[in-house]
Structures are given as structure tokens and as C-alpha cells.
Amino acid sequence: PADWTELDKRAVDTARVLAADAVQKVGNGHPGTAMSLAPAAYTLFQRTMRHDPADPDWPGRDRFVLSCGHSSLTLYVQLYLSGYGLTLDDLKALRTWGSLTPGHPEYRHTKGVEITTGPLGQGLASAVGMAMAARRERGLFDPEAAPGQSPFDHHIYVIASDGDIEEGVTSEASSIAGHQQLGNLVLIYDDNQISIEDDTAIALSEDVAKRYEAYGWHVQTVFGGENVAGLTAALDAAKAETGKPSIIVLRTIIGFPAPTKQNTGKIHGSALGAEEVGKVKEILGFDPEQDFQVDDDVLSHAREVVKRGEAAKAEWLKGFDAWAAANPERKALFDRLTRRELPEGWAAKLPSWPVDAKGVATRKASGDTLSAIGEVLPELWGGSADLAESNNTTIKGADSFGPASTATKEWKATPYGRTLHFGIREHAMGSILNGIALHGPTLPYGGTFLVFSDYMRPAVRLASIMSLPVTYVWTHDSIGLGEDGPTHQPIEHLAALRAIPGVAVLRPADANETAAAWKATLEKRSGPVGLALTRQNVPTLEGTDAEGVAKGGYVLAEAEGGEAKVVLIATGSEVQIAVAARKILQDAGVPARVVSMPCVEWFDQQEQSYRDQVIPPAVKARVVVEAGIAQPWHRFAGDAGEIVSIEHFGASADYQTLYREFGLTDDAVVAAAQRSIARVEGNK
Amino acid sequence: PADWTELDKRAVDTARVLAADAVQKVGNGHPGTAMSLAPAAYTLFQRTMRHDPADPDWPGRDRFVLSCGHSSLTLYVQLYLSGYGLTLDDLKALRTWGSLTPGHPEYRHTKGVEITTGPLGQGLASAVGMAMAARRERGLFDPEAAPGQSPFDHHIYVIASDGDIEEGVTSEASSIAGHQQLGNLVLIYDDNQISIEDDTAIALSEDVAKRYEAYGWHVQTVFGGENVAGLTAALDAAKAETGKPSIIVLRTIIGFPAPTKQNTGKIHGSALGAEEVGKVKEILGFDPEQDFQVDDDVLSHAREVVKRGEAAKAEWLKGFDAWAAANPERKALFDRLTRRELPEGWAAKLPSWPVDAKGVATRKASGDTLSAIGEVLPELWGGSADLAESNNTTIKGADSFGPASTATKEWKATPYGRTLHFGIREHAMGSILNGIALHGPTLPYGGTFLVFSDYMRPAVRLASIMSLPVTYVWTHDSIGLGEDGPTHQPIEHLAALRAIPGVAVLRPADANETAAAWKATLEKRSGPVGLALTRQNVPTLEGTDAEGVAKGGYVLAEAEGGEAKVVLIATGSEVQIAVAARKILQDAGVPARVVSMPCVEWFDQQEQSYRDQVIPPAVKARVVVEAGIAQPWHRFAGDAGEIVSIEHFGASADYQTLYREFGLTDDAVVAAAQRSIARVEGNK
């Protein structure tokens, strides 16, 4: 561009040298892309994006997503140059214990990092969620403003790599972005045609630009990573296109200008070696003897972005204050959401159900709960991966989120709507939910069948790594779904999801526990929660308790006629089986306690004294019953205990037959209890 | 078509009526697509495909994949009409316990079902694998034959739905199919624009035809599900296109001709109701009072396909016999592979390593093993999702599988090559491996980092449901990968994969256990096996044992100076820690045994007596050590035992620091052993 100075050029070259030096120092890492993307990243941080390094949480900021997280230096160096607090010493500590510069960017760990990236495709897919969240935010607070005139207007910028482009989650999310006409989303695709197996021609032949046209994106191509003028013009055109997401295919040479290693797979993921680093410095006019060289005038030039950011924010504040003055109620809502608080008295809206043997499916109770609280919690929004009616994810009366042109006979769509339609794209749903939660200030949820949590698992893991308040509505949570058979019946999924550190799996026993599950989920807001809900009706039980649900487990039915001789532990639809078994045992003179354990993770967080109260260490006779594998339950059952579980895939039949044939019955629980009691007595 | 008779029309309408009746009888299911796809499915089974209902295993047959498995009736009705053994009673037993007609088609359960489908996208992605396997098969046995002239030439036909098209795994696999120029793959995309949330316009706006053009496919569009002439011409054109995979976008009306429910989301997944079923019958000229009406002349007309199949097979046999006579060695190989046998003496090729404290990474040992046995096992082939060098998945000297035009500086590609390049598409890799294994007779493997097993999990689950001999090379199997940090460090993955019924997770302790792991995997061939391999070097240990590996667990180091007071159980890279801890304990006068447990699933399959021999029930002091969550180990540790595990996400640093900071050390194991021993003694 015309105003591109020698100092700008030198700053870009400094970024390249720092990347080479940092990887060389630690001995491993990804220098190549950080070198070739330096002009693009510098352009974004210095010229294109509206941001204030002094206030990384400014709600009016543009967001930056580095989808190719392995190129973390691309981001770290710009955070350093633009004054986010990272120092040269931090860059020197790259990829070492306790540093602010881990191998991949980590949200909440390093200021200015908007999202944890690394697993390919996730950043780009979550950026689609951020763009959706930005539109929803505008709709909540300032829907009448003319385009571009609201303090809630901003952009989401993404840099993505060949790997991102190849991942399926990207395809799903990119299709959704085109469908949603997300004009606030700008993607730079670093088309360097090199990945770890070297020239991508060995695995990638598709016409990426045409593919994105097919998704309905605005497509531009810029030749040359050093072509800053071309990139700047393309970024301007992308911003000018408000009706479509934009992709800029930026043809770069990885590792430029390393004389022997540029344009090879080696420079993607290994240090350059001292000699090559020296040559890079020579080529760029740096002292080959000096490491981490940053000229003072370069740094002060780059740091001028702090002043520009301050000014931009001050300008923005005028508009924001005017909006606040004109919209006191919306401002109050904005403040409440920013404080991450729920409105006073909201819980009074939660429905409750009378004790009832016929009962109701917990998925239905979840849907009723959502519709009941939806009115007082405008921040809550979500939908399903094409299973709205099965997942009961639609808040009654809510419009669908989408351009009016996407409306159908069944769904009224508006750009600021509340009901999300992900299509049959569970993985993108997961990543988009992450993006919405990251963007703030709304609270998203998304539904599919529990078995298809497998499709979204990488996104769930990232939600947990980032402790995001995302809620999954996973219905059809066992063989209880019946006729659809083994491909649709979760067996290992409760265990496999509990296995992810930080994910709370909530499996309510009945309608009232379901409402309590939503209550606790919204109040804790500590990380991702997966609700595992039944397809089939379950009785509404006596004794279920909202506080007990929040504690993860509690005594649902106490032993009678003496201290408990056996503790029956169950979750979800199997609690009714435990209750029925308890009756048989009690009738036979065996005092038996039933513990409902909707959330193992929350139970584990309670004081030892509470846990011992619920499952007394002295009562070693125990039975756990859950329609899934036993793996998570051995530590509760103990050596003397029994687990009534399913250790094989399901089958296609009505669910009553399956429960009977697979031995998930009250009789089986009674027999297991007797075996366990006998074992304990034999040990005495 | 010109030769389309009234009987053909009646047969198609019979298929529609049977679909409506079958769902109506059981009360749930998916009638809509089975009705509207009846003409296409009938055309494939009666006219397009080369198949012999009397011999569903005929290696020369075309394969049929119903990717939209929920429309299982589309397949069941054709299997019935064409004489695969399904009866009208089987159709009446749809979706009931023990029937041959479960909710979704199940491989090995119903004759003529080539693949279990249901989870969307999987069928189409696996069909890409089948098409690749067909080309590799041809390359192994008959590479010199002119195109279309080999007994190993056949086609893979797929029917897929809107849901399949939306799933990311489809995008990945379709891109690979275009890249691979799979002219033997023909996809009919049932573009009915209805899914469960009704009109797909609410979630799907992309230009699917253009997207497939971008992937390099041959694209045709046919309007009207009843347009058999158009479809037939398109199928002919698709077969004529030998250099590209073909997609036929077939614009149908779901549920045609149901008068009130066609073209709605309701008819996708619910029974039509008696009245609507009656009307369908009236419209089609069937008796509304009669259920499951099949006219004798219709059935015998349809069953003529048996004779045509017999003739086709006889004709094919001539070519096959001529090939066999001319290629005795290849025929011998073909016979061996068909018998699923390994060649005599193959195991002598397995490498071995001397005891060595410095040791070697198990990923490296795996690569050496593959290269060593590759020569004698031409059936073994595979590759990586862009991590070939990291996963060590390349068999030395093997060409890459791909059109010559895809060759690069690093890789020589030939259409019949052996090294697979999946690109950064783990999910498609998983599904493609399934397709290769299903097609036969080769044995595929595929590699990525263990943490990214999450990306391919739905395919792994299906491999297990189908008991397919697929091997995953999952390297970088713990925090031992070091600097890449939490997004790349598996913590819960060993547990989560063990959770899937039927998946064997194999985590060898050293190089020799790694060779033994490959040996046992190839010999058992009982279902999917995941090899969890280290990035870092591990010592080559004394006492490792191939038979012990095949048994899943064994005594690696016996207690000395008396009966074991404690049993230390470990897997993979933590076995060395157990061995070091044992030495400390022994030196302190505590007899301690080390059990290496590379495969919990195989250990569980051993006789109780063997298991008790390895972990004596009387020795209650136990420590398990594994660099992952404890969840799978409680049942081995027992009440008195201890587990040295990691219950949180990892961090970015060198691996030695991580092991130390996360407490995975010999000292920690010793301390745990002492606690466990004290507990046992306190209980006495």
C-alpha cells in the first residue's frame, strides 16, 4: 500500500526472524508459516482490525482466530509487536513449562488469544460461531441500527491453512456460513500447498475457490505472501461485501525467504538449523550473529497501534454511550450478561411435575424447561443438528436464526432469530457452539442423539479445555431409543464423555431432575455440560431433589427398617429400576438405599463428608445400574459391589424387549444386591 | 427405458407399498425415502449392477452401499425382490427383536448387505474406500489388463441422502475420491430437499453440484424420481466416465405418491398412518384392504435377476479362469487372501531388538516392523492423515497410491500404489479403512496422532460393530509428545477407545512388544485394533514376550525373594517406570511383580486361571500406572490398590518435565505401592 514504510517492511521481517529464532532456540516447533504469514498477520493487527491491545476484552473489538494453531508464533509475535503484554523473553520461552507461549495458542492463558487452536478445522469452524454470535448480539441489543452503524458491528478474521481446508468440520461450518450469509466473517486461506507430507498435491486436488463459491462465499485470490497491497485491497473488498462471508485465497511460499528450506514440508514443523537461520537473517539484512533482534524504532513503530486502538475505542465509546442512553433496558441486559449473571427470580419459571408412574421422557421435560425459561433468559439460544423435534430443542415461539430467504413452511427465519438449524452437521455444531460461547455474551446449546456425540467429540474436548459454558442436549441416551438399533444406541458414550476432563455428563432420572439439571447448569457455568436424556417416558419419581442434582448425587430413597445393607446407585432411566429393586429388597426385609447420581463429575467435587454420607464407606454391598458400560462405575461399586451394565452393542427392537433381553431389570438388580451382600458377609 | 414393462412399473410400485406397509405394521421407521427411491433402487438391482443373488460373496460383484441407512427398506425390499433370501415375513418383522430386517442394515446379519450404515456420511465415505480397494485389488492381481477387461473390474454404487451430503466426513472422502479419480464409483444423491426438520432450505443453501465439480467429479442431474429413462442414461454415462467418480443428483419427491404427506419431514421418519397408506395403495392400483400385497407375476419377473446374475457370473468365471491359468502365482495369492490366511513363515520377518536402556520409540519400531513384513504381506497397505513421517506408516520402497499426476518430489504415485495419503482428513481415513476392509481381500491400516482418534471415532465404532480387521497406528500416545501441549496430548483417549465394545487398544511397552503387537493383530484379525505408540524413545526391556502380548497382559518381571507383596501394572511407556519402581522396592526388601498389560481387551478374553496367575487375587496391594485417566483401571487396582494417572489436560513443555510435574515417576509408584501395602496390612 502507498503508506507502507520501510519500518513496516522491517517489522514484518522482524516477525520472520523472531519466528525462526524462537523455534531454533527451543529446538522444535513450526517456523515456516509464521515466516510466510508475517505480512498478512502484521497487516491484520496493524491496519485491518479494530482492536485495543490495552483492553483485550473490549466488546467492540474485531476477533482474530488463528485456525492453524501450530503456527502460534504468527500470533505471539503480533501480540508482542502490538503490545498485548507479551515480551521478548516470552518469545524466548516458546514451548517451555509455564511460559505464556505454549506450542499452540491457549485461551485464558495468554492475553489477546481469543481461542485455543491446534486441532485443525476447529478455529475456522468456531469463527463461524463467533460471526453468528456477533449477529445475535446485535439483534439483542441494537437491531434497528443501519448496517455498519452499530457499536455491535465488528468482524471476525481468520487465518487458516491447507489442513483446515481439508478437515470435514470446516466443510460443514463453511456451508453453514454461506447459508447464513455471514458478511462479518473474513477468512484468509494460507494456500502454501505444503503440509507435513510436503507438496499437498499428493492428497489435495480440489478447486478450493470453486468449492467456496459453491458454499455461497465471496471468493478472491491474491498471489504472493509479500503482496501486501493486493492483500489489503482484498481485505477492503471483503469488508465491503456484507452479504456473504469472504475467503481470500492467499498464495504464499512457506518459510519464505529461507534459502534452502522454503517451500518444503521440513520447514513446516522443524527448526531451520543455525545455518539456515543465519542465512535468513542475512537475506533480510539482520545481523546473523544476533538472536531475537528487534530494533527500537521498529518496536515503537509497531506499538503505535496501541494509540490507534485507544482512539478507536474512544470513538466507539461515543456510539456505545449514545446507544446506552437511548436503550436503558437493553443496556441493563447487556450489563447483566457481561457480568455473567442470571436475572433475579428466573428460577421461579422452572416447571415442575407431579409424581406420576407414567411420567414423561426427559427430552420432553428438557424442551418444556427451555420454553419456560426462554422468556426470562434471552441469552439462551440454540438448536439441533436436524433433530429439533426429537431433541426438543426449540424454545416455543422463537424465530429461526437465518436470512429471511431461508425460511420454510415449518420455520420462520429472521437474521436475529433464536433457533439454530445446524443441518446434519454435528461436528460444526460443536465448534460453532464454542465460537458463540467465546464471543459472548450469549449462552448456546445444541442437540443431537447421544450416539452422535462421537461426531462432535473434538469440539467437546476443546470446549472443556477452554471451560466454555456450552450445553449439549444429547437425547436418545441408551438402548431405550429402541428400534433404530446398534448404530444409534449409545453404549460406551456416557463413559467416553465422562472420560474427558472437565466435561460434566448429566443424566437426570426424571422430569424434575431434568429441570434441576438445567438450573444447575446455568448457575454453575463452569464448563461444558452434556445432558443425556431419554427418548422413552420415565416415571416422575418421589424424592427427586434439585439440590441433590446440583451436588451430582444424593439419597433418593432411604433404607427403611434399619441401616442400609446395600446401596443401589443409578442414573437416568435406570433410577426407576433401582427404585423398583429397592421395593423388592425392602419387602424381603433387606434395608436398601437408592442413590440417584445424575452427575459423577459434580459429585466428585463435593466434600468427602458429603460423599461418605451418600455412599457410606462402611456399606460395601453396592449395586450400580446404568444402561451403558461399567467402566466408570468400578470405583463406586468397589470390590464387593456389582454393576448391572451393557458391555456389547445394542440391537434393533422395542426398548422394553431390549431392557429385558440385556438384563437391565429390577430382578437383575435384586440378584446383584443379594450377591453383593453375600460377598460382604462372606468376608466378615 | 424402452424395455421398461408394466411388470417393472408394478414391481417398483410394489416396493413402495411394501415400504409403507412395513413401517405401518411396526409403527415406526422411515417409509418416505424407500417409497421415492424405489425406481432408482430397482433399476440398480435389476439392470445396472452385476450381481448374483445366489452368491453374495462373489468377488466380481458390483457393491451397493445404502449410505442413508435409515432407509433400510430401500435395500430390504430389493433384496427380497431379487431373491437374496429375505422373505415377505422378514419384511413384516421389520425393526423387531431377532429379525433379519433391523432398523438399519447390518453387515454379516442380512445376506446382501455389504455394510452397516446409519450414521450419516459413513456409507458414502466407506464406498470411496471400496473403490480404492477395487483398484488396489486389480493392481495386485491383474494390473496389465486393459480397462474394463479384467475380472477384477467392477463398480461401487452408492445411494446417499441430504444428510450424507451435509456431513463433513463426506466432504473429506469426496475430495479424496476426486483426487484419486475413482472412475469405478457411482453415487446417486437423493436430492429430495427434505430432512427431519422438513424443507432443507432452512439449513442447506450450497450448490451441491458445483461443490462436486470442485472436487473433480463427473456431475449429472436427473429430474424426477420416476424418470427411470433419465436415470438409466445417467448411470450409463457414469459408467462410461472411467477417469472420475460420478455423482447423479436425482431430484425426487420424498414419500411419493402419498397424497398428503409426500414432500414433508413427517414422512421421513414416521409411519404414514392407515388412511394414508390406503390412499397410496389406491393411487398405485393396489387393494387398500390388503397388506404386503405382492403379485406372483411381479415377483417372478423380479426374480429373473437371479438367472441373469447366474449367467453374468458364469461369463465372468471364464475370464477369471483364464486369468488364473495365466497367473498361477497371483492366483495362489488371491486364494490365500480369500481364505484370510497369512503366508507360512511370515513371522520370521518380524524384527527384534536387543535389550537397550536408550531404546527406541515404539512408533519407530512399528515403522520398522511394517517395512520388514511388507515384503511378504502384499495385502498390507496403508498410510497416514498427513503424518507419514511422524506415524512411521510408510512401508519402505512402496509407491504411493494415486494417479501419476498426483506425484510430488517426495512421493512417487501410481494408480496401484501401496502408500495411502489421506491428507488431513482423519474421519474419512477411518471410513475409507472400513470400506477397504469390507471390500477385501486386502488389509488396511491408517495413522494419525492418538489425540485425533477423536476425529475418526464414528468410523472406529462402525469398524467394531462390523468386526473389521482394520489397524490404527495412533502415535504420540501421551503427554510424552511434549511441546505441542494440551490440544495434542491424549489424556482420556486410551480409556475412551477401550470403552468402545470390541475395539482392542494395544499399547506396547517397547520395540519388541510393538513387533509382537503387529504379529498378534494380523493373526487374530478379529476386529479393529488401535496401536498406541510413543513419540519418545523408550528402553528396550528385558523380559518382554510376544505370547504375553497376544494374551493382552503377562508377568514381565517376577518378584524376587518371596511372593509378590505388590503387583505393579503398567502399559506402554509407563512400563519402564514400573520396572524402575520395582527395583527400588526390591532393593528395599519388598518383593514386587511387574505386569505389562498392552491390551486390556485381550487380557479379558483369557481364562480366569491365566488372569489370576498374572494378577493373583490374593495380592491386593496393587499399583497401576498409565499416562492417562484412571477410569479403566479401578477394576484392576481394587479397593486396596492405587492408580498413578493423569486426571487433567496436559501442558506445553518437554516430556521429561511433564512426567515429573504430573507425578508420573518411579518414586510416585513406589510411594503408591507402599500406601497400598499399608492399606492391605491395616485391613488384616
Q: What is the mean pLDDT of residues B473-492?
A: 98
Which residue on chain B is closest to A201 by alpha carbon? B406
Read off the C-alpha cell for B246. Answer: 460420478
Other Cβ atoms within 10 Å of B124 Cβ, number: 31
Give the C-alpha distances (Å, rounded to integers) separating A172 from A68, A161, A176, A178: 18, 16, 6, 10
Q: What is the mean pLDDT of residues B395-424?
A: 97
User: Of B205, B206, B204, B238, nearest to B220 (Cα)?
Assistant: B238
Per-residue pLDDT of A1-15, as tens digits, reads 889 999 999 999 999
DSSP output for A240-284: H--SS-EEEEEE--TTTT-TTTTTSSHHHHS---HHHHHHHHHHH
Tell me the residues of chain B between 622 and 641 that have a Cβ less than 8 Å away from chain A. 629-632, 634-635, 638-639
The catalytic position among A426, A513, A601, A642 is A426
Q: What does the block give as the cell for A502? A: 472437565
**pLDDT tens-digit profile of B199-214?**
999 999 999 999 999 9
- Cα–Cα distances in Å, from B679 out to B241, B566, B621, B675? 72, 12, 8, 6
CB B528 within 8 A of CB B504: yes
Sequence length of chain A is 684
Q: Taking Cα atoms as reference points, which of B21, B68, B41, B20 lies closest to residue B262?
A: B20
Mean pLDDT of A132-140: 98
* Cα B83 to Cα A28, A284, B270, distances in angstroms: 62, 74, 28
Do B96 and A410 count as a contact with CB atoms less than 8 A apart?
no
Residues 446-505 of chain A with CB under 8 A from chain B are 451-452, 454-455, 457-458, 461-462, 464-465, 482-488, 491-492, 495-496, 498-502
> CB-based contact (8 Å) between B170 and chain A?
yes
Q: Which domains does chain B have, with CATH numbers?
A: 6-311 (3.40.50.970), 346-540 (3.40.50.970), 548-683 (3.40.50.920)
- Residue A180 to chain B, least CA–CA distance (Å): 9
Contact A169 B167 (CB under 8 A): no
pLDDT digits (tens, 9 = 90+) for A355-382: 999 999 999 999 999 999 999 999 999 9
d(CA B26, CA B14): 18
φ, ψ at A168 (rounded to 5°): -60, -35
Supply φ then ψ for residue A75, to 5 degrees. Answer: -80, -50
- Contact residues, chain A, for B265 at CB < 8 Å: 410
Residue A150: predicted pLDDT: 98
pLDDT at position B684 over 80: no
Residue pair B540/B356 in contact (Cβ under 8 Å)? The answer is yes
Residue B607 in this model has a pLDDT that exceeds 80: yes
Q: What b-and-e string marks burial along A346-362, b requiring 16 or more CB atoms within 10 Å of the CB?
A: bbebbeebeeeeebbbb
Q: Which DSSP string do the residues of B570-597 spell out, in sequence order?
A: E-GGGHHHHHHHHHHHHHTT--EEEEE-
Residues 6+ apart with CB under 8 A from A183: A241, A242, A243, A244, A245
Strand order in the sheet with A413-414: A413-414, A400-401, A419-421, A380-384, A443-449, A471-475, A529-533, A504-506
- Bridge partners for B247 per DSSP: B187, B219
Contact B119 A451 (CB under 8 A): yes
Strands (E), A537-672: 537-540, 554-557, 566-570, 592-596, 622-625, 642-644
Beta carbons within 10 angstroms of residue A682's beta carbon = 8
pLDDT for residue B160: 98
Distance CA A458, CA B426 (A): 12
Measured between beta carbons, the chain B residues lying within 8 angstroms of A30 are none
pLDDT digits (tens, 9 = 90+) for A442-461: 999 999 999 999 999 999 99
Residues of B in contact with A118 (CB under 8 A): 484-485, 487-488
Backbone angles phi, psi at A194, to 5 degrees: -130, 130
Selection from A203, A255, A244, A252 nearest residue A73 by Cα:
A255
Say how far apart CA B353 and CA A209 lie, in whole Å: 50
Closest CA relative to residue A60, chosen from A304, A238, A324, A241 = A324
Of A200, A457, A475, A518, residue with least CA distance to B385: A200
CB within 8 Å: B634 and A634: yes
User: Can you give the pLDDT at residue A683?
Assistant: 79
B123 CB near a chain A CB, below 8 Å?
Answer: no
Question: B206 contacts in A (CB within 8 Å)?
Answer: 175, 178-179, 214-216
Inspect the interface and report whether the beta carbons of A211 and B208 lie closer than 8 Å: no
Residue type, A526: S
Is the pLDDT at B615 greater than 80? The verdict is yes
Does the distance separating the beta carbons of A175 and B406 come in below 8 Å? no
The answer, for A108 touching chain B at a CB cutoff of 8 Å, is no
State what percent of residues in chain A have pLDDT above 90.
99
The SS3 of residue A529 is strand
pLDDT above 90: residue B683:
no
What is the Cα–Cα distance from B547 to B520, expressed in whole angstroms? Answer: 8
Mean of per-residue pLDDT scores for chain B: 97
Q: Sorting pLDDT into bands at 50, 70 and 90, what band is A571?
A: very high
Task: Report CB contact under 8 Å: A499, B484.
Answer: no
Asked whether the beta carbons of B312 and B45 are under 8 A apart, the reply is: no
Cross-chain Cβ contact B390/A196 below 8 Å: yes
Nearest to B639 among A97, A455, A639 (CB): A639
- Determine, for residues B202 and A413 on separate chains, whether the beta-carbon distance falls below 8 Å: yes
How high does pLDDT run on average in chain A?
97
Indicate the pLDDT class of residue B421, thresholds 50, 70 and 90: very high
User: In terms of CA atoms, which chain B residue is nearest residue A103?
Assistant: B484
B247 pLDDT higher than 90: yes
Give percent of chain B with pLDDT exceeding 90: 98
Residue A117 has pLDDT above 90, yes or no: yes
Residue B301 touches chain A, beta carbons under 8 Å = no
CA-based nearest distance B52→chain A, Å: 28
Tens-digit pLDDT profile for residues B303-362: 999 999 999 999 999 999 999 999 999 999 999 999 999 999 999 999 999 999 999 999
Those residues with Cβ within 8 angstroms of residue B76's Cβ, 6 or more apart along the chain or in another chain:
B22, B86, B90, B91, B94, B101, B105, B110
pLDDT in tens, B67-100: 999 999 999 999 999 999 999 999 999 999 999 9
A168: nearest CB among B172, B208, B648: B172
Measured distance CA(B287)–CA(A531) in Å, rounded: 47
Query: How many A×B Cβ pairs under 8 Å?
Result: 368
Residues of B in contact with A409 (CB under 8 A): 198-199
Q: Are residues B206 and A179, on separate chains, in Cβ contact within 8 Å?
A: yes
Catalytic residue (choose from B106, B137, B276, B426): B426
**Residue B656 near chain A (CB below 8 Å):** no
pLDDT class for A535, splitting at 50, 70, 90? Answer: very high
Contact A72, A104 (CB under 8 A): yes
- What pLDDT was estimated at residue B196? 92
Mean pLDDT of B557-581: 98
Q: Quick one: cell of B69? A: 441407512
Lowest mean pLDDT among A680-684, B42-46, B316-320: A680-684
Q: What is the Cα A637 distance to its own chain's centre? A: 33
Average pLDDT on B17-41 reads 96
Active-site annotation holds for A574: no
- ipTM, two decimals: 0.98
> Which A-chain residues 387-406 have CB contacts (< 8 A) with chain B?
387-390, 400, 402, 406
B487, B496, B652 ranked by CB distance to A465: nearest: B487
The answer on pLDDT for A684 being more than 90 is: no
Instruction: Tell if the CB–CB gap between A119 and B648 is shorter than 8 Å.
Output: no
What average pLDDT score do residues B8-23 get?
A: 97
User: Mean pLDDT throughout B129-146?
Assistant: 98
- Write out the DSSP string of A63-121: EEEESSGGGHHHHHHHHHHHTSS--HHHHHTTTSTT-SS-SS--TTTSTT--S---STT
